[in-house]
Structure 1
């Protein structure tokens, strides 16, 4: 099997974890997802300026990147954005981070895209959650300089595992007296330890349950509402949009979390993307990806 044919998702979870520990993030075989290629494919992205930086967290420095288009009609709101990757992978140059941020910035929504510690080896919750909270606090402190918006207009969001981390961070901020985001943007989020069956006891043999346990770090932590926000109360969350995909096996988790927020009196919007599957915004050529970007942008401006 050549490097271009290798797909780590084809490995059993223990083998995938071991491979990542030994080799790091596998190369993406796509040749058209770098920023230069994206600008050529989508001329609307031409005026987005980017700035790479690092954010100090309790566990060391994490890379981040600010996106801003001063020629765009400003929404008056900014976003701290966290990519997915099953808690074990993902990086700032993947489309779910880079392309999404470019597209939103071109629509007048400046973005601070951030990275976090991956759950490899002995790393588990709260390490990546602490990283996200550190990035959120950095965004609050530097929102005016980096994004041109005040901290009161800063939103937090993420996709998949990033949705778990950001919803969990929002719950921690709410319960710990921190600054809760002005809004929450969640795309196919994992808000429960078994995203396909919210409310059920996770099957330890199921692949998704293995990912959840690896993130949580213990069977007890699987039921902590700061680890998986869908297990707690919906009260006190900010205005939220939850995007779920028609063909996503984890769709029930997002739908259940939206219902939980609604029961808690939160202004929540549940958007179903027709024809889409999990990770669709990680593929710019997917015809269902851009509609999700448009829905998020319109919701943030509303």
Structure 2
């Protein structure tokens, strides 16, 4: 990450996307200024996290890269029989393993008996675009299921895949790629406020390239033509043969239509899907441990994941 004392950190929310991408490419991602999101602060606030053990890994990735990953296990927790590969968000241009959306989420789930491997991925900066971040997720997934017993103490057939926001996009797209290549699928798919359409706010393939969201989508894929790729935006492709899926959307989130539409698309394709609406929440709420809507979402994820042990448990669409 960038040294916050070495250069002035801009407010990326107020910058044109091209300038933000250029700054991040040149300087790296700045340190998160929040004072209470490190492990010590989190365990003081949430004492049940203290028994979770972590181990940092580097996975040999594509394009000559090493993929950063972190494994979470809690020997004191009652084993769920399931494990989760988890991928954070960050608009495809930021995010890392220490952000709460990755680190705190993984700690909480591991403390509930669900071992987690959190994955990072290359960001879409400069000349890097899809499928490179998706390739990283696929390689991380394949590594995890090949070493599931060693990493998690569960068989490969018990490993789920999931992510939030951009990570939800990447994990949904990776699942479509696995299905279309005939590879084994995750035991389940967990998508939290996912962006699975080129136009997330309208759950549409029609993109205004001058809008903020349109610019992010175009920066992700790299060309107008690639915006139609169903492996880049899973909602553009067939939804059949997806694994059981949990889709979490937030009441106040402007990107809520994308997740809701995808959940209904999965249901229409005959997929076992649960759509969970987090009332009062906004996009990114599980990146804020102090947000009162965050823990209920993590509890819903843990509950749904544990229920996947029962083959006759089916989800439901919130009406």
- The answer as to whether partners of 2:202 and 2:258 remain within 8 angstroms in 1 is yes
User: Which of residues 225, 231, 237 is equivalent to 1:226?
Assistant: 231
The 5 A counterparts of 1:123-272 are 123-272=128-277
Query: Is contact 2:191–2:247 with CA below 8 Å preserved after alignment?
Result: yes
1:49 and 2:56 aligned: no
Deviation track 1:99-156 (CA, whole Å, cap 9, x = no partner) reads: 0000000000000001001000000011000000000001101111111111000000
Which residue among 275, 278, 283 is the counterpart of 2:288? 283
SS in 1 for 2:76: coil
Confirm or deny: 8 A CA contact 1:192 1:231 kept in the other structure. Answer: yes
- Structure 2 gaps of 5+ residues are 308-319
Q: Which runs of 5+ in 1 are unaligned?
A: none
**Root-mean-square deviation over aligned CA pairs:** 1.2
Residue in 2 that maps onto 1:37: 41
Alignment partner, residue 294 of structure 1: 299
Q: In structure 2, what is the Cα distance between the partners aligned to 1:229 and 1:18?
A: 28
Q: CA deviation at 1:216?
A: 0.9
Moved more, 30-39 or 248-257: 30-39
Shift of 1:177: 1.1
Kindly indicate whether the alpha-carbon contact (under 8 Å) linking 2:197 and 2:205 is maintained by their aligned counterparts in 1.
no
1:13-92 matches, within 5 Å, as 13-59=17-63, 60-92=65-97
Match of 1:103 in 2: 108
Deviation at 1:199, TM superposition (A): 2.4
- Per the alignment, in what secondary structure is the counterpart of residue 55 of structure 1? strand
Q: Does the 8 Å CA contact 2:169/2:233 hold for their aligned counterparts?
A: yes
Aligned mates of 2:22, 2:9 — CA distance in 1: 19
* Range that drifts further, 8-17 or 68-77: 8-17
Of 139-148 and 288-297, more deviation after overlay is shown by: 139-148
After TM superposition, the score normalised by the length of structure 1 is 0.98
Displacement of 1:5 in angstroms is 8.1
Query: How many residues are aligned here?
Result: 301
